[in-house]
Chain A
Amino acid sequence: MEEKKKAAYRVGVIVLVVLFVLTIGEYFVAQIPGGVISVLFIIAIAKSWAIMKYFMHITSLWSEEGGH
């Protein structure tokens, strides 16, 4: 139980770090002149995928398992 809880907290930390790195990446990509809109969109999609999968648990929508 305790191990499971720690593992779940750890996932949250990893996702936060990834989101931070991608946000900083976005900031620096924006400093490059011209043609960065598509790259910024790709980064935003990657960030949104991480949020939906790990924070919003979108996979639970089609999961066979009931409960939380």
Chain B
Amino acid sequence: MSVATPYVEPAHHEHHELPYSEQLRNNRLGLWLFFTSEAFMFIGLLSSRFYLWGNTRPDLDQTLGLIVTSVLLVSSFFMNRAETAIAHDDRPEFLRSLLITAALGIAFLVGVVGFEWQGHIGPSDGAYGAVLFGMTGMHALHVVSGVIFILIVWNNGRKGSFSAERHWGVEACAIWWHYVDLVWVFFYPALYLMGHVVHG
């Protein structure tokens, strides 16, 4: 024998949506937790560099290393400028700074992939090649995703999707871009500066 349970229509629709400030707090926490998980991968790559290279490094182009690092630092500055601009409803500066950031990101990629990867070390050149291409390749992949993210935010910003009060999309994009820069802050000295040069 079964007992049918009659369906009771709720008296009112319950609203489960959190206030924006609460959502923002959760979003930020989620993004930083994601960064933490990503950090394990980058720390793994960094550890492999010290394990396999020890106190040595390949003969990389120092000028190129310094230029691409500077380009990425300047791109972070413009990303911060874009975020500051939208927080103050300065839409033209916001859009302009985003495009400059994307252009600098592409310039960084050209420097690493177009020049450094065309040097005398290939990905199959033992531990030096494997580590160099593993680290720069994984980082370059993140730069590519950052540039795509920036262009999506720029396109949405052009359509007026963000305001001074609500611009989580911009903030997330900015933090993501700075994270890519943060990783390079450790990769640059590890690849270009630490240890003595091994020629050949």
Name the one of A37, A51, A61 contacting B185, with C-beta atoms under 8 angstroms.
A51
Q: Which of A9-49 contact B (CB under 8 A)?
A: 9, 12-13, 15-16, 19-20, 23, 26-27, 29-30, 33, 36-37, 40-41, 43-44, 47-48
Q: Which of B28-44 contact A (CB under 8 A)?
A: 28-29, 32
B187 (CB) vs chain A CBs: closest residue: A44
Name the one of A4, A8, A19, A56 contacting B73, with C-beta atoms under 8 angstroms.
A19
A-B pair count, CB < 8 Å, reads 105
In the bound complex, do residue A20 and residue B84 qualify as a contact, i.e. CB atoms below 8 Å apart? no
Residues from chain A with a CB closer than 8 A to the CB of B103 are none
Interface size on A, residues (CB 8 A): 37
Q: How far is the CA of A12 from the CA of B69 in the complex (A)?
A: 17
Interface size on B, residues (CB 8 A): 47
Residues from chain A with a CB closer than 8 A to the CB of B179 are 56
Residues from chain A with a CB closer than 8 A to the CB of B167 are 68
In the bound complex, do residue A55 and residue B165 qualify as a contact, i.e. CB atoms below 8 Å apart? no
Q: List 14 A-B contacts (CB under 8 A).
A: A1-B88, A23-B188, A27-B193, A33-B196, A40-B189, A40-B193, A41-B189, A43-B189, A44-B186, A47-B185, A56-B178, A61-B29, A66-B19, A66-B25
Residues of A in contact with B (beta carbons under 8 Å apart)? 1, 4-5, 8-9, 12-13, 15-16, 19-20, 23, 26-27, 29-30, 33, 36-37, 40-41, 43-44, 47-48, 51-52, 54-58, 60-61, 66-68
